[in-house]
Amino acid sequence: MALIQVIQWDDGLNSNDVLAWRYVNKNNAAKSDELGNWSQLIVRESQEAILFRDGQAVDLYGPGRHTLSTDNLPFLRSIMNLPTGGESPYKAGIWFVNKVNLLDMKWGTQNPLLLKDPEYQIPIYVRAFGQFGLRITESRQFVIKLAGNKTSITRSDIESYFRGLILSRMGDMIATYIAQKKVNIFEINSYLEDMSNEAVGKLSQAFKEFGIEPVNFYFGSVNVIDDDEGIKKLKAAMSERATMNLMGYNYQQKRSFDVLESAAKNEGGSSLIGAGAGLGAGLGMGGALGQMAAQMNQYINPQQTTPPQNVNPVTNPTPTQNNNNCPHCGKPLVPGAVFCPFCGKKPVCSQCGADLIPGAKFCPQCGNKI
């Protein structure tokens, strides 16, 4: 065995990918853990080296050149008997830890998160992805907890180890913003900076346990699956509400208009008046909606303004009030109105008390001239 053995980081390793590496003797890999007395350990900038004996980290070395001997490693005196010349090896391993900042670690949801839209209560599938940066702060803790029987620890190992932790914490955060803070999924991207800053705090304690510190954490995007049925319904509901806001009416009024339009399409149009009257009373809109229904009916069925063919008019009616005034409050009626715009009551025949058809010249029941 050579009198002086040089132990250093393998130049063939990618420093942007390998975070920790166990020293391997290029000349004889089987004797990688046989370190001779007076071996030279070279540690580069942004690195630390850990000397292991029987699975225990016995010493830590920073950047520079270090001589491994019984002079600076007192523990060796208890595990070896050096003959003259100091050539006998002792069993120990060296781990090099790369302490550069890695700022382009990737994360993302493998399976979409099933959440419920806070406004429309529609189930939707949400995805998220981004990147984060980290650095190793405690080399011993990092190697002891993550190395195991491996000979190296790479960035893919870190992404694999912490994927579940990251997705769990980020999933909870996204759910909090959508479910508790009532942020619409189409507006959540405006909160990405706040969420990113909050994520660093949520991950710091968990990473610290493994000797790692998160440098930053970013949400690249929080989005949905466009082909999802829930998203299609949500977009349709939002579009419909935007249209109603633009036109100046609400959902309840829109449903009323839909009923009127449907009734207007029925043959004869006679159901339109009843629909308008019923909806007007139910919505508290009184004569306004009834008047609308009557006016629509006049345009759709102008024949309703002529007297029925099977009615024989009375030749000498005896009117008891002005035909242009409401029989209840006496105030002028609006032509074609089903309800009085002042008292909200329906005009009736002065002769028999039957409801009058807007625009009719005779009572449909007794034939009294209006």
pLDDT value of position 134 = 94
Torsion of Cα atoms, 132 then 135 then 137 then 139, to 10° = 120
How is the chain split into domains, by residue range? 6-98, 102-229, 249-305
Q: Residue 31 has what DSSP assignment?
A: G
Write down the pTM of the prediction. 0.59
Kindly list the averaged pLDDT for each block of 10 residues, start to end, along the chain of length 370. 77 93 88 79 95 86 87 52 47 91 90 84 88 95 92 93 92 91 89 94 93 94 82 73 64 58 57 46 46 51 48 42 67 73 77 73 76
User: For residue 305, what pLDDT is reported?
Assistant: 46
**Phi/psi at 79 (5° precision):** -120, -5
Angle between helices 251-264 and 270-282 in degrees, nearest 10: 160
pLDDT score of 347: 76
pLDDT tens string 2-40: 457 889 999 999 988 999 999 998 888 887 877 777 789
Query: Of 2.40.110.10, 3.40.50.1240, 3.30.450.20, 3.30.479.30, which CATH number belongs to 102-229?
Result: 3.30.479.30
For residue 311, the model assigns a pLDDT of 44
- The model's pLDDT over 149-166, given as tens digits with 9 standing for 90+, comes to 899 999 999 999 999 999
Rounded Cα distance between 10 and 44, Å, is 11
CA distance 206 to 217: 14
pLDDT tens column, 92-127: 889 999 999 998 899 999 888 888 888 778 888 899
